[in-house]
Amino acid sequence: MPRFPSSNARTRTQPSSSPSLSHSPSPRKHTPAATPYERCPAMDPQMDCILYREMSDSEAAFLRCMASGRGKEDFMRRWEVVLKRLVQATEAGQLSIGTLQACRSIVARVNAVASKLSDCELAAAQMVERMVAETQEHVKHLSDSPTLSTVRGPTSTPLQRLLPPQPNDLLLAPYRRWFLDHFAFPYLTAADK
């Protein structure tokens, strides 16, 4: 008797081709869950192109608006409409993965610029408020100062400020005397001209 079975001998039981005769459960094939974009066969290449172009145009309009400072309300209305259309098309499965990624990038860039500008505006507003408070405090401190109140004279009317002051003869007399003593005839003659 041979030590090893012959090649045509059956050494173990083979599964039956008939499912009713098989004693073991049939193997389950696990199919990966399809993404929402793969499930819906309604992807529209035109919608891809249209929405991508609208998003790109909106980004350019946003940058122009930020550079010029005009048309913010118009941009915001257009941006809301484009984002609503993007969400609707995404939920309907009409956009490709590439378009969704590109639109996500555009939204992220617009958001980054807008939030940075908002932070800068907030910082500028806080700086202005701080400077106003410091200025008011400084003015209050100066108005409470006793040295400033003694230096202040009586307030003058606008008419007094416009008229030139009258020369005081007593103050100018010594200078007039010196001038006349040092110049024999201080006025030019026809020969001097």
Q: Average pLDDT, stretch 158-180?
A: 69
pTM of the predicted model as reported, rounded to 2 decimal places? 0.47
**DSSP for residue 20:** T
pLDDT computed for residue 36 by the predictor: 47
Inter-residue contact 55 to 48 (CB < 8 Å): no
Mean pLDDT on 78-99: 90
CB count, 10 Å around CB of 52? 19
Asked if residue 51 lies in contact with residue 85, where contact means CB atoms within 8 angstroms, the answer is yes
Task: Please give the Cα distance from 128 to 147 (Å, whole number).
Answer: 29
Question: What residue has token string 């007039």?
Answer: 176
DSSP 27: P
Q: Write out pLDDT tens, residues 30-69.
A: 555 554 444 445 677 888 889 999 999 999 999 898 888 8
Burial of 86 (C-beta count, 10 Å sphere; 0-12/13-18/19+) = buried
Are 61 and 78 within 8 A, CB to CB? Answer: yes
Mean model confidence pLDDT for the chain:
76
Give the closest residue to 44 by CA, choosing from 105, 79, 85, 92.
92
* Structure-token pair, residue 62: 């946003």
Do the beta carbons of residue 51 and residue 86 sit within 8 Å?
A: yes
Q: What one-letter code names the amino acid at 60?
A: A
